[in-house]
Structure formats: C-alpha cells, structure tokens
Amino acid sequence: MSAGACGASAPYRPDPRPLLSDYPSRFGRPRIVLDAGHGGSQSGAVRSWSAAEKDINLRVTLALADRLWAAGAWEVVLTRATDRTRSIGARYRQSNRTPGRKTAFVSIHANAGGGGEGVRRGTMVIWSSHQRPGARKRSERLAACVGAALRETGFPRLTGERMPIKKARRQKRHYVATDPRFGCFATATRRLGVLDHNRHPAVLVESHFLDNKAAVAAFQNDAAIGRFARALEVALMSFYA
Ligand SMILES: [Zn+2]
C-alpha cells in the first residue's frame, strides 16, 4: 500500500478550517453509497438490552446521510432508507450501478459475538482482500481514513483480537486482523459479498458491540450517533482530500 493521506507517513490531523469550504468541486462531487446493514426480515444481531441491529444501523446511516446532504458537497445514495429487506446482491449491484470515479461505498453495522457479554468492545472497519486489486487498494486507504477519524474522535478500538495482518491473510476463512499502519482493526474476508463484489472503494464499519451493555448504553443515543456520523464524514473528507 502506498502511503496516502491516511498512511503512517502522513498521520491524520483534524483540519481547523471550515469543513467543506475548500473542497475541490471541479471534478464533481464525491458520491457516497450508504448501506444500512440488514433490515426488514433480517434483524441482524438482537440483544434484549439493545435496539435491533437493523434499526441502529439505519439510525446511524440516516444521521450520516443528513450530515452529508446538509454539507452540500456530496451526493448520497442509500441502499435502504426504511426498514426493508434487501439482499447482499442487491446492495452491491446498486453500488456497482452507481457511476462515478469518485464514488465510495460505506456499509454500516454493529458488532456481536465472539467472546460473550462485555468481553469485546470498540469499533471495527473492514475492507475485503478479495476485491479487484485497484478497488482493494483504495478500500484499504478508505479503511485507514475511517480508522484514523474514529480514533481521533475518541471511539475505542476493538479489543479482544490480536493477529498480525500477514498471518491473517494466509487464512482461508473470515478473519480479523490488526494493522498498525492504520491504528485501527481491519478485516479481510471472502464472506462479505457487499465488499468482495464492489467495484468502488468499499468498507464496512462496525459501530459498537451489542454484546456489551455499557457500550450499548454509551452509543445508542443521538449525541454519540452524531459523533460517530461526524467521524465518518471526516473520514470521507480525508479520503477525497
Ligand atoms: Zn450486521
């Protein structure tokens, strides 16, 4: 991976200037496909102390969409804006039908499983090592931008997983890895069709762990969701800067 704006050689720094005033517009606005995970008959993770994952994903997605729309510098495409069922194929095909050299795909999820209540916490950003090489490189960079922005905003990194990414890449199955270049956790996988088959830079972001009651209480309110949406907006700005 080349060290881009989000690489180790250029650590992320918050920009004190007004956010979008100096955004380049001559090449057209970046177009962001926002994918609220699950929906309709597919609840995603369900815990008695939490909103259903599909609902919290939609809430986060709409908060981010509102931010991007309000800023006026983005085009926003939603794979769903309501509680409806959409297949994985429908989601990545919608992304692939969305034109634009400056189009990116962000899937919003919440995490669960793998350690029991309270063991794991934190955010995770995922890209797919099975995307076509050009898109994969850009997805890695987008993941780095998201990881940096989440870290900068004070969202905790995922705890409970430790595996060097090179070792993880040799594995055949879904795996989680940490990459110190990004200051965030990242996963490469062959199971996440929304990423694998996406022709645009594509990441999947896990906002918090539904297994963790404290994390649920801390995240599932307007203020925290707004902060998370803001971090993703900053990540997209830094990706396109
Ligand atoms: Zn999910």
- For ligand 1, the distance from its centroid to the CA atom of residue 212, given in whole angstroms, is 15
CB 44 within 8 A of CB 54: yes
- For ligand 1, the distance from its centroid to the CA atom of residue 25, given in whole angstroms, is 34
Residue 223 lies in a domain: yes
Residue 203: what are its φ and ψ, rounded to 5°? -135, 160
CA distance 80 to 5: 31
Residue 115 lies in a domain: yes
- For ligand 1, the distance from its centroid to the CA atom of residue 52, given in whole angstroms, is 10
- For ligand 1, the distance from its centroid to the CA atom of residue 20, given in whole angstroms, is 31
Report how many domains make up the chain: 1
What share of the chain has pLDDT > 90, as a percent? Answer: 42
Q: Considering only residues 161 and 65, tell me which one the structure prediction assigns the higher pLDDT.
A: 65
pLDDT in tens, 124-136: 888 887 888 889 8
pLDDT band at 184 (very low <50, low <70, confident <90, very high): low
State both tokens at 46.
């369900």
Task: Give the DSSP per-residue string, 111-141.
Answer: E--SS-TTT--SBEEE--TTS-HHHHHHHHH
Strand-strand pairing, 75-78 and 103-111: unpaired
Burial class (CB in 10 A: 0-12, 13-18, 19+), 2: exposed
**Segments forming the whole domain that contains residue 195:** 31-240
pLDDT in tens, 76-100: 889 998 999 999 999 999 999 988 8
**Residue 194 maps to which CATH number?**
3.40.630.40
- For ligand 1, the distance from its centroid to the CA atom of residue 194, given in whole angstroms, is 12
For residue 163, CA distances in Å to 123, 153, 178 come to: 16, 25, 6
Query: Over the Cα atoms of the chain, what is R_g?
Result: 17
Q: Considering only residues 63 and 6, tell me which one the structure prediction assigns the higher pLDDT.
A: 63
CA distance 37 to 88: 9
- For ligand 1, the distance from its centroid to the CA atom of residue 37, given in whole angstroms, is 5
Above 70 in pLDDT, residue 33?
Answer: yes
- For ligand 1, the distance from its centroid to the CA atom of residue 23, given in whole angstroms, is 32
Residue 3 lies in a domain: no
Residue 22 lies in a domain: no
Segment 193-199 shows an average pLDDT of 92
pLDDT in tens, 135-160: 988 998 898 888 888 888 887 766 55
Give the mean pLDDT of the chain.
Answer: 79
The predicted pLDDT at position 191 comes to 67
Residue 17 lies in a domain: no
Under DSSP, is residue 10 helix (H, G, I), strand (E, B) or coil?
A: coil
- For ligand 1, the distance from its centroid to the CA atom of residue 14, given in whole angstroms, is 29
Segment 114-120 shows an average pLDDT of 61
- For ligand 1, the distance from its centroid to the CA atom of residue 65, given in whole angstroms, is 19
Residue 112 lies in a domain: yes
- For ligand 1, the distance from its centroid to the CA atom of residue 45, given in whole angstroms, is 7
CB 219 within 8 A of CB 57: no
Residue 135 lies in a domain: yes
Residue 4 lies in a domain: no
Mean pLDDT is highest, among 31-40, 170-179, 181-190, 207-216, for 31-40
- For ligand 1, the distance from its centroid to the CA atom of residue 92, given in whole angstroms, is 15
CA distance 170 to 168: 5
